[in-house]
Amino acid sequence: MYCNAEFSRSARLGASAGSALSVSDCRTSLGALTLPPTTADTAGMIGMVTMTRALIAAADKRPDDVAAPTQTAKELATQFGELDDNRDPLGFGFGPTNVGLWEMALALEAGEPDRAVGIAQTIQPKRHPFKTRQSQYWMDYGRALARLRGRQDDAVRALRIAEELFPMRVLRNPFAQDVIGELVARSRRDAVGWELRGMAYRAGLPV
């Protein structure tokens, strides 16, 4: 489970190939992992390991190996639904909402922001029990919107919601910082532009 947690964190923080925990390390570790039988108590763990396999395949530029674990996780989430505290003793917050968040991340990893936006529009982030993941939804949504023509203001609003939910997760995330910097470079001197510059300032970026 160390690999699952640490690779997910590293991937979202933009860890380099020279990081202590590499894609290769995780691929090897997860390949050797034997999962327990699928029950309501283990579904969260199994689902997160399965989605981590998909993310590793995407980061490793193996798109053909992304679809199968993603579909498995979706079927698992559909079978058990949104897991609450009583049915998620290991605290993974797994369910259809979380799988949707992973699918957004996979779409961004694949360079498909329009698909990420389409997935985002099917998700109700408040259904996820953790604010960290709600913030991740809005951050990834903002990153995707920033790549679409005419959606800059929407991107800023999404990033601001993410910041309000979990400031440090957004302001210290290199992916978010990159997008904020790009938005600042082409922003207007209007209310949205000033709000964006405030966020850039709080992230330690030049304004």
Q: Provide the strand spans (E) within 77-152.
A: none
CB 108 within 8 A of CB 143: yes
pLDDT at 23: 62
**Phi, psi values for residue 95, rounded to 5°:** 165, -175
**Look-up of token digits 């992230």:** 203
pLDDT at 34: 81
- Token reading at 18: 């020279």
Cβ partners under 8 Å of residue 43, min gap 6: 76, 79, 80, 83, 94
pTM: 0.83
**Look-up of token digits 């209007």:** 190
pLDDT at 26: 72
**Rounded-to-integer distance, Cα 80 and Cα 179, Å:** 36
Q: What is the mean pLDDT, run by run of 10 residues, along the chain of 207 residues?
A: 44 40 66 82 90 90 92 94 72 91 95 98 95 97 97 96 96 96 86 89 92
pLDDT at 1: 44
CB 83 within 8 A of CB 43: yes
pLDDT at 12: 42
